[in-house]
Each structure stands twice: as structure tokens, then as C-alpha cells.
Structure 1
Amino acid sequence: MRKYIKLISIYWFMGIGIGSLAYIFFLWQSGAEIQTVQQIMNVVFISGLIGLVSMIFESETLPVIWQFIIHFCLVYSLDSCLNLLNGITTSFIWSWRFLAEFFITYLVIWLFIYLSFSTRVRNINKKLQEKN
């Protein structure tokens, strides 16, 4: 049971960290100067949920392509909910521009995670080789 609570906590806080950084970047890009406490809390909560959705990659029964498709759709839905909660109009959320921005952001975040993970694996393998 402790293992699952720890895993849920890790995914929750990683989601909050990555989501918050992405949100800050988009605030900076759009030139937004003021955010309400409610908007910040929405970002934290939805980002945590996105982190939990990422637990789908722990599944060993689903093919990886389905994991990505399901993850992409759920994250897109949660991001759309976040924008609605924070007062962004629905016409923007269902636009090609939003989809393109979301897709690019999704790829950039995955590239960062992939590079971070592969660096960590490379370091572990290097330490194992030194040990042997």
C-alpha cells in the first residue's frame, strides 16, 4: 500500500511541477501580469491530475501507442478544462491554433522527460559497469 501512495505522490508532484513551469512560460509568452489565487489553484490541481494520468505509462498490459493516445486525449481534455476554469473562451479551446500549441508543448515536455530519463538511465548503467 505504501508503494502505491508513494507512486501516486511522485506523479502528483511531478505533474504540479511540470504544469506550473509550462503555465509560467505561457503567462510570460502572453504578457499576462495578474493571476488570481483561484487561477493558480486551478493550475496546481489540474497539473496534479495530469501527473496522475501519466501513471498510465506504468501499465504493462496496454501497448505503448495506446498509452500515448489515451494520455494525449486525457491531458488535452484536462488542459481544456483548465482553460475554461481560468476564463479562456471556448472558441479558442476548440481552435486549430490551440490544438497546435498544445501539441507542440506536449512534444517539448515529452522530449524533456525523455532526455532526463535517458540521462538518468545512462548514469545508472555507467555506475553498474564501474561496479563490475
Structure 2
Amino acid sequence: MNLFWNLFKRFFMGMLYGSFLYVVTGLYFNSSSYNISDRLIFLFASGLIGLLSVIFKSERIGIVWEFVIHGALSYMIVVALNLVITPYFDFWNPNIFTTFTVEFIVIYVIICSSSIAMFHRSTREINDEITKRKQKMNQKNN
């Protein structure tokens, strides 16, 4: 049951990131042409990308390889999403392929950087709290 909730949380977090990106990109591009089923497919794909974050739990692979694998699989999901939602999407056109790939990498780096920053911040706060508790225990013992 714990595994189910862990996977559910990851799926939900993926949906949150996807929703945020949908809102941000909707400010710059006309997203009114998408119907409700397209939006649900987008949320589902975002959830799948969130599920891919399970790879970061592995200690056998280095963090760089984890990001490379997660990024490649996420890229495949996003390409599939675009091909499903927009069947006329000419992905193999060199200009579209290059632009799409560069935009994906930039967005992926921004999201990963913010995730790393949040993780680093929370880790630092936890370590500071542990240090304070140790100091209090040492003061009580002295």
C-alpha cells in the first residue's frame, strides 16, 4: 500500500508540474484550440513523467545518468503527446525537430534546477535542525 501512495504522489506531482507548464505556456500561445480530451491527455502524460521520477530513488545509477534517463524518457512521452494531440505535427522536419528539442531541453533544465534547489534547501534545513538538536542535547549533558 505504501508503494501505491508513493507512486500516486509522484503521478500527482507530475500533474502539478504539467498543469503549471500548461498555464504558463497558455499565456504565450493560443491554447484555446485544445479540447477537454486533449487537456486530459496532457495531464495524464504529465503524471507519467512524474512517475518516471522513481528513477531518482535508485542508488545504483549516478545522478547525472538519472537525469539523462529521466530526460530521454520524458522527451519520448512529450513527443508522443504532441503526435497524439496534433496529428499534423511534422516532428521530423529538421527545423521543427531542432526547435522542439531545444525548447524541451531548456524547460527540462529549468524544472530540474528548481527541483534540485528545493531539495538542497530542504536538506539544508533538515541538517540545520539536526545540528541544533545535537547542540541542545550536548548542553543538557554538560
What TM-score does the superposition give when structure 2 sets the normalisation length?
Answer: 0.83
- Once the two structures are superposed, the pairs formed by residues 100-115 of structure 1 within 5 Å of their partners are 100-115=102-117
State the Cα deviation string for residues 32-56 of structure 1 (Å, max 9, x = none).
3343110110111101110111111
- Once the two structures are superposed, the pairs formed by residues 64-83 of structure 1 within 5 Å of their partners are 64-83=63-82
Residue equivalent to 1:121 = 123
Assess, with a 3 A threshold, how the Cα gap between structure 1 residues 106 and 20 changes in structure 2: closer, same or farther: same
Residue equivalent to 2:84 = 85
Residue equivalent to 1:56 = 55
Assess, with a 3 A threshold, how the Cα gap between structure 1 residues 108 and 83 changes in structure 2: closer, same or farther: same
What TM-score does the superposition give when structure 1 sets the normalisation length?
Answer: 0.89
Q: CA deviation at 1:83?
A: 1.1
Percent identity of equivalent pairs = 28
Q: CA deviation at 1:72?
A: 1.1
Count of equivalent residues: 131
Assess, with a 3 A threshold, how the Cα gap between structure 1 residues 30 and 88 changes in structure 2: closer, same or farther: farther
Q: CA deviation at 1:24?
A: 1.8
Q: CA deviation at 1:3?
A: 2.4
RMSD, matched Cα: 1.7
* Structure whose CA Rg is larger: 2
CA distance in 1, matches of 2:4, 2:31: 36
Unaligned 5+ runs, structure 1: none
CA distance in 2, matches of 1:39, 1:46: 11
Unaligned 5+ runs, structure 2: 135-142
State the Cα deviation string for residues 37-92 of structure 1 (Å, max 9, x = none).
10110111101110111111111122333222211110000011111122164324
Residue aligned with 2:86, SS: coil
